[in-house]
Structure 1
């Protein structure tokens, strides 16, 4: 049985979410934290839908950052929590939305400092990651998180869903007031797409800085959606 599926963000991996996963398991929940590294959006969606199909009841999906792109496409879930996440509609891509922000603001949006590595993948500068991904995370946890980061192919910015499922299930968006990885205008747009939203005083990674609070929300959201009949 799987109650909750955690979908990691780009540059991240399942181990980044160990603290949150352990907190949720301590509350009696069964989890899946699949590794989506270098999978296409279609392949990521298929992998998660296989997990959903094997669950006794529809699970709740938590998508962090780019994990929200996959979360928004998976069918058969009980609901979705978008945690400082990208929430795309069909035909949208991160690159397209960032270009829209640049056109509106007249300057490129601030974000992560990325540089190609020897394989051509984009790596995050460690100092930049500390400041812009883990700004409110304690030093020990932030150092481990930085060490766990993996370079990503540039194609991550081109991920474009051809269909989405987020309109079909209850959804909650959690934005971070100190999030430096997603432009505030996009976070506001994503939040408006959900049934409900919250803004926390946090950086891009509240699963590390406010682990228990994230677990509280996930647990309550799961109880809530499982009390509700499926949407028609």
Structure 2
């Protein structure tokens, strides 16, 4: 593996586990990257829940902090809810910030993959309410009394009808999904890593979980706040890690290059 390539950390989405990213991880490793996919505590399937956005934030910060303290340059790829976690967790760990403090290593780039890139005080449900879609929440998501949640139709909402994948591959992916602490949907970001770390955003045009309008509104907000955002668009649904793996690798290569 070329030593000049950064380490990649994938912050996975809600309901997902690292196993859901095996296709992408394999493809990125074949392209010469070291890839880490830490499992978020809010996907530990505990009932009642024992972890939330705060727990996920602390876990990811500790995980990435260890890598950068070892002198590594890190590119973080955030998927869906993982964007909220990474935004909250990685402030102050930027490569340029650390270099000014005479520290080696740091996060060189944030890649939001149909992910929540929110300002301070923003939340997933806050974005839904901004578009007047809160009545759709119970239609898409099945909340239990303890606030753990499943997607009602994951095949349609996550993968889409025109994925081009075989039934076995899709079913294997869906089988790996787990119950999540849905309280994290309502919890707000308190820190914003994107303010000081370079940003790219991967739009997914056929997304039914984070619609393209939501994605574009988040990028526009970052731009209004003075952040330059390099954007890419894939004609796929909410899980390009599965449905557009090679395209995601191409984008990562462009960002790193």
TM-score (structure 2 length as normaliser): 0.77
Aligned position for 2:215: 187
Aligned position for 1:63: 78
Cα RMSD, aligned residues only: 2.2
State which of 87, 91, 104 in structure 1 corresponds to 2:117.
87
**C-alpha distance in structure 2 between counterparts of 1:112 and 1:62, whole Å:** 29
> For structure 2, which runs of at least 5 residues remain unmatched after alignment?
43-50, 94-106, 223-227
| Aligned 1:1-232 pairs, distance under 5 A | 3-38=7-42, 39-55=51-67, 56-73=71-88, 74-75=90-91, 76=93, 77-102=107-132, 108-109=135-136, 113-117=140-144, 120-125=147-152, 128-135=153-160, 136-137=162-163, 138=165, 139-192=167-220, 193=222, 195-223=229-257
Secondary structure at the counterpart of residue 72 of structure 1: helix
Please, which moves more after superposition, 25-34 or 40-49? Answer: 40-49
> How many Å apart are 1:91 and its aligned residue?
0.6
Q: Is contact 2:78-2:86 (8 Å) kept? A: yes
> How many Å apart are 1:66 and its aligned residue?
0.4
**C-alpha distance in structure 2 between counterparts of 1:120 and 1:14, whole Å:** 23
> For structure 1, which runs of at least 5 residues remain unmatched after alignment?
224-232
TM-score (structure 1 length as normaliser): 0.85
Q: Is contact 1:111-1:180 (8 Å) kept? A: no
> How many Å apart are 1:109 and its aligned residue?
4.8
Matched residues, number: 218
**C-alpha distance in structure 2 between counterparts of 1:48 and 1:79, whole Å:** 15
Deviating above 4 A after TM superposition, structure 1's stretches of 4 or more consecutive aligned residues are 109-112, 117-120
